[in-house]
Amino acid sequence: MSQGFEGRDIISIHDFSRKEIEHILDVSKKMIPIAKGEAQDFSLKGKILSPIFFEPSTRTRLSFETAMNRLGGSVVGFSDPEITSLKKGETLADTIRMVESYSDVVVLRHPMEGAAKLAADFTEKPVINAGDGAGQHPTQTMLDLFTIWMEKGAIDEKNVVLVGDLKYGRTVHSLACALAKFGANLTFVAPEVLQMPKEIIDYVQEQGVSYSQSDNLEKAIESADVLYVTRIQGERFPDPAEYQKVVGTYRVDNELLKGAGKDIIVMHPLPRVDEIHPDVDGTPHAVYFKQAFNGVPVRMALLALILGVVK
């Protein structure tokens, strides 16, 4: 079942079966003490990870780097393409060909949808998609699933509300598909213009899970186990005036959460702008900082599996 991980790319959540994702979650759990620095494991000693980031990132890049370092590996990459040869006109294909000769695994974030797939076609080394425009963000989804599983004990049949920018948000594209694979019940809450793209809805429908679309957050959270909040992706709007019309549409605060079940958990891939009031941070509902930590054990598991030191 788990034999096939070594050397694989991680481009889309569709690359993995439910069984494979469950295996990744099991391995991630075992990584927690190492991720916290309470135990040691240097099984990636001598391996090099290249993060090449063409868009801003805090958590994704740092948690990949921490994951690699905790497992004894090294990191050689960049997060500011302005100071690389890209500035001189080098193509993505040439950059990838170079990076492949310097490292064992490439982690790419790029504004263009499909960039990670393209990069994978140019190299034999494994490529991990750390976000391709409004496309997919599969490793974020793994850590989101891990967080739900750890906090709620299961993913199946949980009522999950995804709110915010469902149109341009890549985290919710990958997550909605994965949750459908696991048989969660889904509610997509967004202003009409930011609703989930048709291909994601089609996929969710094919999985046969119960789902609904709405713009009413108060109603949606009444029976939710998980509320997954996202930022309106201002940088992806072709027209800034359109962004101004929808920014600030939803705001999660303690007043709103009074209408939810007492065990609801609130998640967010971060960064947040004003979608979640800081007052929520101190409540047992807030799991977004724990979720951000979970990026470390989950990315450790993925690197160990892909580089073949864990089966």
Q: Catalytic residue at 268? A: no
* Annotated catalytic residue 272: no
| Backbone angles phi and psi of 159, in degrees to 5 | -90, 115
Q: Point out the catalytic residue in the list 30, 59, 272, 277.
A: 59
- Select 96 or 134, whichever has its Cβ closest to ligand NCD: 134
Give the footprint of ligand NCD on this chain (CB under 6 A): 59-60, 131, 137, 140, 170-171, 231, 269-270
Active site residue 109: yes
Smallest distance, ligand NCD to C-beta of residue 225, A: 21
Tell me how far apart the alpha carbons of residues 221 and 214 are, in angstroms, rounded to a whole number. 11
Shorter beta-carbon distance to ligand NCD: residue 59 or 117: 59
What is the nearest approach in angstroms of ligand NCD to the Cβ of residue 45?
28
Taking phi first (over 0 means left), then psi (-120 to 50 degrees means alpha), and beta for anything else, what does residue 82 get?
A: alpha
Question: Which position among 23, 47, 109, 299 bears the catalytic label?
Answer: 109
Would you call 78 helix, strand, or coil by DSSP?
Answer: strand
Name the residue nearer to ligand NCD (CB basis): 26 or 199. 199
CA distance 168 to 191: 13
CA atoms within 13 A on the CB side of 242: 14
44 in Cβ contact with 71 (< 8 Å): yes
Catalytic residue status for 60: yes
- Least distance CB 246 / ligand NCD (angstroms): 14
Q: Is 30 annotated in the active site?
A: no
Find the shortest distance in angstroms from Cβ 239 to ligand NCD. 19
Residue among 183 and 234 whose Cβ is closer to ligand NCD: 234
Sequence-ordered alpha helix ranges (H) in 153-287: 170-181, 198-206, 217-221, 240-246, 254-257
- CB nearer to ligand NCD: give 110 or 170: 170
Minimum Å distance from CB 175 to ligand NCD? 11
| Other Cβ atoms closer than 10 A to 255 | 10
| Helix (H) or strand (E) run with residue 148 in it | helix 138-152
Of the pair 47, 137, the CB lying nearest ligand NCD is at 137
Rounded to whole angstroms, how far apart are CA atoms 109 and 127? 10
Is residue 253 within 8 A of residue 279, CB to CB? The reply is yes
CB of 46: closest distance to ligand NCD in angstroms?
28
Select from 300, 308, 306 the least CA-distant residue to 27.
300
How many CA atoms lie less than 13 Å away from 158 in the CB half-sphere?
A: 25
| Alpha carbons 187 and 255: distance in angstroms, whole number | 21
Catalytic residue annotation:
59-60, 88, 109, 137
